[in-house]
């Protein structure tokens, strides 16, 4: 029994067969899926999916790509969603200095504001970090993010960053890229991470694991992530499934 802690089931890539994808996940023994919003409309869809399916939970937040779209009404909307028991986190929030689809100053401002919202509504955070490692750490520390807890999703940093995140009480989430042959640096990272601080995710429809690389990803494939972690750590898949599921249940109060 695994928990896919980061999926995007509301995106258009699933419009033609969303229910079939969800059924395959349940048939594959996926215990829970957390589907994550990225803009206001996407958050509405994520919350609706969580309402419709008893093993789906939602996270709501505005992705750094869309930070430029945020206004006062956006925060009212997020507060409303946060009051729903099916909503278990504020996310996906953070910084993306790789694509820079919103100005860096705008991203930084709204990252801080959404962290403060998470503290206000007593929910953990799901953090997006791309090419902004030091800036993300600085803001998390300054905003005392350890008081709400959270996860660095699709972790792409080095051991030094991982250690800093662990010291704040954060979890590290491992995606399908861990199955790629040329991911030795991340293999080393996983070897060093304590199992009780690891989550597994697909980030579907993106980052499909081997042997589906280049195709659409889906929650049923999270087992390939867990199997890779088990191989790297030299432990059984059942132990990986048990502990990562307990981790997700603890973080998201499932």
Handedness of CA 227, 233, 236, 241 (dihedral sign): negative
Helices 222-233 and 184-192 sit at what angle, rounded to 10 degrees?
70
Work out the burial of residue 76: count CB atoms within 10 Å of its CB; fewer than 13 is exposed, 13-18 middle, 19 or more buried. Answer: exposed
pLDDT, one tens digit per residue, over 112-170 is 999 999 999 999 999 999 999 999 999 999 999 999 999 999 999 999 999 999 999 99
Confidence (pLDDT) at 182: 81
Confidence (pLDDT) at 185: 87
- For residue 72, pLDDT over 90 is answered with no
- For residue 48, pLDDT over 90 is answered with yes
Report the distance separating Cα 246 and Cα 156, nearest Å: 23
Confidence (pLDDT) at 206: 97
Helices 104-121 and 72-82 sit at what angle, rounded to 10 degrees?
30
- For residue 78, pLDDT over 90 is answered with yes
Confidence (pLDDT) at 140: 98
pLDDT level of residue 181 (50, 70, 90 thresholds): confident
Residue 162, phi-psi category: left (phi > 0), alpha (psi -120 to 50), beta (remainder): alpha
Helix (H) / strand (E) element for 185: namely: helix 184-192
Helix (H) / strand (E) element for 20: namely: helix 18-27
Q: What is the DSSP letter of 136?
A: H
The total number of structural domains that make up the chain? 1
Domain residues for the domain of 140 are 2-252
Q: What is the DSSP letter of 28?
A: T
Which string of DSSP letters, residue by residue, matches 222-246? HHHHHHHHHHHHT--HHHHHHHHHH
pLDDT, one tens digit per residue, over 218-250 is 999 999 999 999 999 999 999 999 999 999 999
Report the distance separating Cα 73 and Cα 76, nearest Å: 5
- For residue 184, pLDDT over 90 is answered with no
Q: Is 211 helix (H, G, I), strand (E, B) or coil?
A: coil
Q: What is the CATH number of the domain that holds 64?
A: 3.20.20.140
Strand pairing of 125-130 and 150-152?
A: parallel
Strand pairing of 125-130 and 30-36?
A: unpaired
- Which distant-in-sequence residues (6+ apart) come within 8 Å of 169 by Cβ? 146, 149
Report the distance separating Cα 213 and Cα 193, nearest Å: 25
| Alpha-carbon separation of residue 145 from 28, 122, 139, 167 (angstroms) | 34, 11, 8, 11
């Amino acid at each position: 029994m695994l928990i896919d802690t980061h999926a995007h089931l509301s995106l258009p890539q699933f419009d033609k067969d969303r229910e079939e994808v969800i059924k395959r996940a349940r048939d594959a023994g996926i215990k829970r899926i957390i589907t994550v919003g990225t803009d206001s409309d996407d958050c509405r869809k994520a919350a609706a999916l969580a309402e419709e399916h008893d093993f789906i939970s939602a996270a709501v937040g505005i992705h750094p790509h869309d930070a430029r779209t945020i206004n006062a009404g956006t925060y009212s909307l997020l507060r409303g969603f946060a009051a729903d028991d099916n909503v278990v986190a504020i996310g996906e929030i953070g910084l993306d200095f790789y694509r820079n689809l919103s100005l860096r100053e705008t991203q930084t401002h709204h990252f801080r504001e959404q962290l403060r919202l998470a503290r206000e509504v007593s929910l953990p955070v799901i953090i997006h970090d791309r090419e902004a490692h030091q800036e993300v750490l600085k803001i998390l520390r300054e905003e005392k993010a350890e008081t709400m807890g959270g996860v660095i999703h699709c972790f792409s940093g080095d051991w030094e960053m991982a250690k800093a995140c662990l010291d704040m009480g954060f979890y590290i989430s491992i995606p399908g890229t861990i199955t790629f042959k040329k991911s030795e640096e991340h293999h080393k990272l996983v070897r060093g991470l304590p199992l009780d601080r690891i989550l597994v995710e697909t980030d579907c429809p993106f980052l499909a694991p081997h042997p589906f690389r280049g195709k659409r990803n889906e929650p049923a494939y999270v087992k390939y992530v867990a199997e890779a972690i088990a191989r790297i750590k030299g432990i059984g898949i059942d132990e990986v499934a048990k502990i990562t599921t307990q981790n997700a249940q603890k973080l998201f109060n499932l």
